[in-house]
Every structure is written in structure tokens, then in C-alpha cells.
Amino acid sequence: MALHGVEDVFRVLDLSGVFANAVLGGVIARREKLDPIGFATLAVLSGLGGGLLRDVLLQHGTPVALTDYAYLLTAFAGAAASYLARVEGPLWDRVWPLMDAIALGCWASAGATKTLAVGLGWLPAILLGAVTAVGGGAIRDIVLRRVPGVLGGNTLYATAALVGAGTLVLVYRTGHPTAASLCGLLVGAGVCLLARWRGWILPSADAWSPANVVPGRYRDRLHRATVARRRPNPPASSDPASRDPASRGSGSRRSASRRSAQADPSHPPEQP
């Protein structure tokens, strides 16, 4: 009885995540000024896209979202709610991050569990757990011709899904699948919320350039050396005399003699 109770809790959390992400898809559809079909499409992609993609990759039966009507109906309900009412304000800003983090942890755990259940190893389980959690949002952004937000520039999201799925895999090996699912959910959601609170993001490629990695006392030397290498060499003179030090010295003495002769008329001019 206790096992069924835990499964019911996970189902409620799963459907709550579907609804919240479907509403988010509707919010984005409103910003893009889409019609009801656009609302429904983005809601289904946001709420169910990751699970559909996981089941297609596993090729282990029909996707759950197509056999259990509760998932599609929940996604359509989220689309209708966001279409009929403008979802915004401080209440949404407080509730949405919590629901999104719980959904991320739940989906990462569910994806990893299903991957292990079909006989695949730990690495596919972690990857498909992350795909289940973030795949829907990525597909939605691609449909809108935007760079998926999970690819960088935002607080840790895909990383939180990977950590949650990895936690599930570790605990799953102890022979306690229910405890593994709970641990994966809590760790994934916790990392996501902590990253939002602390503003954690992964460093970009520019942050790892030599100018940023080298200690400060060597940074100026490296910069000066780089500028010196890029500075063009001065053009060579076409006057042969300018390249001969002896000729330059002779010419300087001859010019000095002429100037002294002009200053003193009694001094005979130097013969060339």
C-alpha cells in the first residue's frame, strides 16, 4: 500500500509539472501572438516533448503520453488556462520556479528509471533522464527559431537534470528503486532552485581563454607580447645610404661642414 502511495505522489508531481510547463508554453505563445492552435502546440511541446522524445529513442512501446489520456488532457488544460487568462504577476513569479524545479527533478528521475528498466546502462540512463527533463523546452525553442535556453546563458538547468538523474542511478544500484526516485527528485529540484537563488551558470568558452586563466602578474606580459606580434614591421627604406651606417655618418659630417661654412664666410667651402 505504501508503494502505491509513493507512486501516486510521483504521478501527481508528474502531471503538475506537465500543467506548469504547458502554461509556460501558453505564456510564450501569447508573447508571439499565436492563435489557439499555436497555444496548444507550444503547450504540448513544453509539457510532453521530453517524455515523447525519450520514448521514441527507447523504442519500447507506445509513448506514455499517447496511451494515458491524463497527460494530453493536462497539457491542453494548461494551454486553455494560459489562453483564457493572462498568466503573470508576482504570484506566478513565485510559484513557477518551484513547480518547474520539482517537475525537472521528477522527469529526470522518471526518464532514468525507465531507461534502466528496459536494460540499458548507467550512461544512457543519465542522458535520457536529462532529455526527459529539458527536451520539451528545447523543442519548443527550436520551433520558435530560438537558441534553446538550456544550451547556455541561464542558471543551471540541464546540469541539475544530469545531477538528479545521476543520483538516481547511484541509489538505484542499491536495490531500492523507490528511494532512488525520491533522491533523484530532491537532488535535481534542489540543485535547480539553488542555482536560481545563487545565480549559478556554467562558464562560457571565453572565460577559459589564456588571458583569463593566466595569473594576473603574467597577464600584462602576455598582452604586451601578443600586441608586439601583431604590430606590423616598419617599411624598409629605398635609399641605399640609409642602410649603410658609414654613409649615414659621412652624410651627417658633410651637412655639418656646409652649415659651418654658411655661418663663417671666411671658411672655404668643402669640396665635394
Angle (CA) 129-135-138 rounded to 5° is: 150
Number of domains, the chain: 1
Three-state DSSP state, 170: helix
123 falls within a domain: yes
Cα-only R_g, the chain = 35
Q: Supply the pLDDT for residue 234.
A: 58
Q: Which residues in 11-109 belong to E strands, given as ranges? A: none
215 falls within a domain: no
156 falls within a domain: yes
Average pLDDT of every residue of the chain: 82
71 falls within a domain: yes
**C-beta neighbour count of 159 within 10 angstroms:** 19
148 falls within a domain: yes
Span 33-73, pLDDT tens digits: 999 999 999 999 999 999 999 999 999 889 989 999 999 99
Whether the predicted pLDDT of 121 surpasses 90: yes
Residue 6 structural domain? 2-208
